[in-house]
Amino acid sequence: MNLVEGIFVKPFQDMFGAPDFLIQVLWEGLVAGVLYALIALGFVLIYKSSRIFNFAQGIMVVFAALTLVGLYEKGVPALLALPLTLVVMFLLAVAIERVVLRPLVNQPDIILFMATIGITLFLIGFGEIIFGGENKVMITEQLFIPTGSFTFEPFGGFVSIEQKDLTAVIGAVLLVAGLILFLNKSKMGRAIRALGDDHQAALSVGISLSTIWVLVWFIAGVIALATGIVWGARAGVSFALEVIAFKALPVLMLGGLESVPGAIIGGLAIGILEKLFEIYWGQPLLGGNTETWFAFVFALIVLLFRPQGLFGEKIIERV
């Protein structure tokens, strides 16, 4: 009886008993969710335009953050290090297209997937050689990201919102809005969507695969850099960051591999739900630390009922 009450009654009593704490939990979940969404977006873009499941997305986050901090440590001013890092990510995209994608075009998907594992290993080694393997601190202040926190008191309680989290959320929203605008309104964006729909036809109308691939990998690199800055500001920059990319997997299952809105909504949903579950069910009933597995179990349950994911692209079929 106690268990039933613990599952169905008490959590909700807690939530409505302390709404200020609930708001705090939801906010924390939202911030984590924004990051999951960003990483998932990187996966989706690359998958849509080249049918490659990019295992290297996680390490690209680390590599971007590491390059930024590493350049700063080598004496480059922070505001110059940022555009320089973008240049590095662009060169990386060009190199990947030339060395990895172009020779492997038309190979089975699994081979390209293996190639991205190769890219992962290369980036780990390369990053370590150039910038060293020890943990680094993100140059938050130098990039003029505010570090204080707002507090306010709804319902007579107390909620604290860190300014860097707020900056991260606003930055992510702007980035995503810009990306959606780019995909829907620009010539290149249209070409990316066309390539996602029909590879052969895209080739036949003269869409250049190499151009699009470089572009898409560069966008994924930019997203990785944004993710790296935000995550690095919260947890420091280390190769351990790579594992957050795996958090994107349940997001992708949930959102569907090809859907941009799916990645965003899926990311936010997972971020918020796992926080809520951890605080109101995990800690009292299961001894905590549920965040490591909740997303996967949740995705698994969703997949049982919707194998194409919640927002998987509808296959248009005429009869």
Interacting residues toward other proteins by CB under 8 A = 105-106, 187, 190-191, 193-194, 196-208, 313, 316, 318
Q: Which is nearer to other proteins, 14 or 313 (CB)?
A: 313
The nearest distance, CB 11 to other proteins, in angstroms, is 41
Buried b (16+ CB within 10 A) or exposed e, 145-174: beeeeeeeeeeeeebebbebbebbbebbee
The nearest distance, CB 256 to other proteins, in angstroms, is 13
* 192 close to 49: Cβ distance less than 8 angstroms: yes
Q: Which is nearer to other proteins, 291 or 313 (CB)?
A: 313
The nearest distance, CB 316 to other proteins, in angstroms, is 3
* 63 close to 88: Cβ distance less than 8 angstroms: no
C-alpha dist (Å) from residue 301 to 254, 261, 288, 307: 10, 20, 21, 10
C-alpha dist (Å) from residue 94 to 84, 87, 201: 15, 11, 24
Alpha-carbon dihedral 292, 294, 295, 301, rounded to 10 degrees: 150
Q: Which is nearer to other proteins, 58 or 196 (CB)?
A: 196
The nearest distance, CB 99 to other proteins, in angstroms, is 18
Q: Which is nearer to other proteins, 195 or 222 (CB)?
A: 195
The nearest distance, CB 91 to other proteins, in angstroms, is 23
Q: Which residues pair with 136 in a beta bridge?
A: 237
Q: Which is nearer to other proteins, 79 or 203 (CB)?
A: 203
